[in-house]
C-alpha cells in the first residue's frame, strides 16, 4: 500500500474527514479551506506524541487514536474554544492495515465526541509519532488564558484527579488491579474527555484557565507565573475518585492527583461571586484552594500550614 492509498483508505474516507461546518475543503488538495464566523478568533495548538515517551509501543491503534485527539482538543477546552478542525502528521514504521483501521476508528470516535473535523495532514515513514494541530474558534476577546488570576479568586478543578497517573503502571504492564478498578482508571488514561462545554461555560467568568496535563501542582505553577500570584492548594479538598483511593490508599492517590500527569481536567481561578451561578448550572466544579498575592504554588494541610512537596509534575527536560 502506497502513501496515497493509505491516506485515501484510512483518513480521507473517515467520517471525521467529511467537509461541513466551517470546513469548506478537507483532505485531498494542497491545503484545507476553513471559514471563521465574523467576530470570532482562531485558536491554535499543536501536540506531538512519541512512542515510548507519551505512550507504550506496541500500542492499540484504536486507543491511541482516541487519546491523541483528546489530548490535543483538551487545549481548546482550556481556552474556552469551540473545535473546528485538526491536522494529523503521522510518522509510521510500517503501513499495517489492521492497526491503521483501528487508529482511524479511534480518531473518528473522539472526533465525533468533540465535534471536530480532520482537515489534512502528512504521512511519513519512521519511528511511530504523531503531531496533531487543533483549530478552534472563540468570540473575539473572550479566550481564556492563564494570565488573569487575581488575589481573592477561588482555585477550582473540573473533576477528580490522579486516575490517569494511577493507571500508568497498568498501561505499562508493571502492576495489576482488580478488574473494575483497572477499567475505570484505564478509561481515564486512554480516553480522557476534553472539558469543552465547561471551558465554554467559563468564558466571561474564570480569570485564568488551563488543562492539567503535567500534574496539578506543576500546571498551577503556570497560572501562578503567568498571573503573577500565589496559588494555595488545600490538600484535603483535592477531589479523588473512590476506586483510586481504595486501590492505592489515600496517600498515594493524593500524590497521583497532585503530581501525576495526564488528567486533562480544567484547573481555573474564579471570582467567588461566579461560583454559585456555575454550580446552579450543574457544572462539576470543586474548589481546591485560593489565589493570594505572592508567587508559586503551595499545598496547605488541614490546619492551613504549608507542606513541603517533593514531586510536582512531569518535565521532559528536567535535570533531576
Q: What residue ranges bind ligand ADP (CB under 6 A)?
A: 7, 11, 27-30, 88, 90, 118, 120-123
The smaller minimum CB distance to ligand ADP, of residues 30 and 320, is found at 30
- What is the closest distance, in whole angstroms, from the C-beta atom of residue 61 to Mg ion in the complex? 22
Contact assessment for residue 74 and residue 68, using Cβ atoms and an 8 Å cutoff: no
The rounded distance, in Å, linking the Cα atoms of 226 and 133 is: 23
- What is the closest distance, in whole angstroms, from the C-beta atom of residue 262 to ligand ADP in the complex? 24
The smaller minimum CB distance to Mg ion, of residues 135 and 155, is found at 135
Residue 120 interacting entry, from ligand ADP, Mg ion, none, C-beta within 5 to 8 Å by type: ligand ADP
Residue 100 interacting entry, from Mg ion, ligand ADP, none, C-beta within 5 to 8 Å by type: none
The smaller minimum CB distance to Mg ion, of residues 96 and 122, is found at 122
The smaller minimum CB distance to ligand ADP, of residues 89 and 201, is found at 89
Residue 236 interacting entry, from ligand ADP, Mg ion, none, C-beta within 5 to 8 Å by type: none
Residue 88 interacting entry, from Mg ion, ligand ADP, none, C-beta within 5 to 8 Å by type: ligand ADP
Instruction: Indicate whether 3 belongs to the interface with Mg ion (CB under 5 A).
Output: no
- What is the closest distance, in whole angstroms, from the C-beta atom of residue 114 to ligand ADP in the complex? 16
- What is the closest distance, in whole angstroms, from the C-beta atom of residue 109 to ligand ADP in the complex? 16
- What is the closest distance, in whole angstroms, from the C-beta atom of residue 64 to ligand ADP in the complex? 13
Q: Which of 5, 122, 236, 301 binds Mg ion (CB under 5 A)?
A: 122
- What is the closest distance, in whole angstroms, from the C-beta atom of residue 122 to Mg ion in the complex? 4
Contact region with Mg ion (CB under 5 A), list: 10-18, 40-48, 65-73, 117-125: 117-125
The smaller minimum CB distance to Mg ion, of residues 32 and 288, is found at 32
- What is the closest distance, in whole angstroms, from the C-beta atom of residue 122 to ligand ADP in the complex? 5
Contact assessment for residue 218 and residue 210, using Cβ atoms and an 8 Å cutoff: no
Residue 73 interacting entry, from ligand ADP, Mg ion, none, C-beta within 5 to 8 Å by type: none
Q: Using alpha carbons, select from 119, 112, 116, 136 the residue that is nearest to residue 44.
A: 136
The smaller minimum CB distance to ligand ADP, of residues 71 and 267, is found at 71
Q: Using alpha carbons, select from 9, 14, 6, 4 the residue that is nearest to residue 119.
A: 14
48 CB-contact burial (10 Å; exposed 0-12 / middle 13-18 / buried 19+): middle
- What is the closest distance, in whole angstroms, from the C-beta atom of residue 93 to ligand ADP in the complex? 15
Three-state SS sequence of the chain:
CCHHHHHHHHHHCCHHHCCECCEEECECECCCEECCCCCEEEEEEEEEEEECCCECCCCCHHHHHHHHHHHHHHHHHHCCCEEEEEEEEEEECCCCHHHHHHHHHHHHHHHHHHCCEEEEEEEEECCCEEEEEEEEEEECCCCCCCCCCCCCCEEEECCCCCHHHHHHHHHCCCCCCCHHHHHHHHHHHHCCCCCHHHHHHCCCCCCEEEECCCCHHHHHHHHHHHHCCEEEEEHHHCCCCHHHHHHHCHHHHHHHHHHCCCCCCEEEEECHHHHHHHHHCCCCCEEEEEEECCCEEEEECCCCCEECCCCCCCCCCCCC
The smaller minimum CB distance to ligand ADP, of residues 90 and 229, is found at 90
Contact region with Mg ion (CB under 5 A), list: 122-130, 162-170, 251-259, 260-268: 122-130
Q: Which residues bind Mg ion (CB under 5 A)?
A: 122
Amino acid at each position: 500500500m502506497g502513501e496515497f492509498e493509505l491516506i485515501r483508505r484510512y483518513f480521507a474516507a473517515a467520517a471525521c474527514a467529511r467537509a461541513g461546518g466551517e470546513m469548506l475543503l478537507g483532505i485531498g488538495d494542497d491545503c484545507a479551506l476553513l471559514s471563521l464566523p465574523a467576530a470570532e478568533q482562531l485558536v491554535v495548538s499543536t501536540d506531538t506524541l512519541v512512542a515510548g515517551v507519551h505512550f507504550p509501543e506496541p500500542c492499540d491503534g484504536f486507543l491511541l487514536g482516541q487519546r491523541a485527539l483528546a489530548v490535543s482538543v483538551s487545549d481548546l477546552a482550556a481556552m474556552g474554544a469551540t473545535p473546528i478542525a485538526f491536522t494529523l502528521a503521522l510518522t509510521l514504521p510500517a503501513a499495517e492495515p489492521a492497526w491503521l483501521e483501528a487508529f482511524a476508528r479511534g480518531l473518528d470516535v473522539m472526533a465525533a465526541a468533540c465535534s471536530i473535523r480532520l482537515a489534512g495532514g502528512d504521512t511519513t515513514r519512521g519511528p511511530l509519532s504523531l503531531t496533531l494541530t487543533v483549530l478552534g474558534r472563540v468570540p473575539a476577546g473572550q479566550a481564556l488564558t492563564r494570565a488573569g488570576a487575581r488575589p481573592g479568586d477561588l482555585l477550582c478543578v473540573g473533576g477528580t484527579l490522579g486516575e490517569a497517573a494511577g493507571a500508568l503502571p497498568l498501561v505499562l504492564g508493571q502492576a495489576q488491579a482488580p478488574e473494575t478498578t483497572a477499567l475505570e482508571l484505564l478509561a481515564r488514561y486512554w480516553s480522557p474527555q476534553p472539558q469543552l462545554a465547561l471551558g465554554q461555560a467559563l468564558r466571561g467568568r474564570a480569570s485564568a484557565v488551563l488543562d492539567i496535563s503535567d500534574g496539578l501542582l506543576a500546571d498551577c505553577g503556570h497560572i501562578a507565573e503567568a498571573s503573577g500570584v500565589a496559588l494555595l492548594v488545600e490538600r484535603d479538598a483535592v477531589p479523588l475518585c473512590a476506586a483510586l483511593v481504595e486501590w492505592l490508599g489515600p496517600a498515594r492517590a493524593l500524590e497521583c492527583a497532585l503530581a501525576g500527569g495526564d488528567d486533562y481536567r480544567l484547573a481555573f481561578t474564579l471570582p467567588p461571586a461566579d461560583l454559585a451561578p456555575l454550580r446552579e448550572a450543574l457544572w462539576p466544579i470543586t474548589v481546591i484552594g485560593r489565589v493570594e498575592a505572592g508567587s508559586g504554588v503551595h499545598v496547605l494541610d488541614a490546619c492551613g500550614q504549608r507542606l513541603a512537596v517533593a514531586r510536582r509534575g512531569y518535565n521532559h527536560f528536567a535535570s533531576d
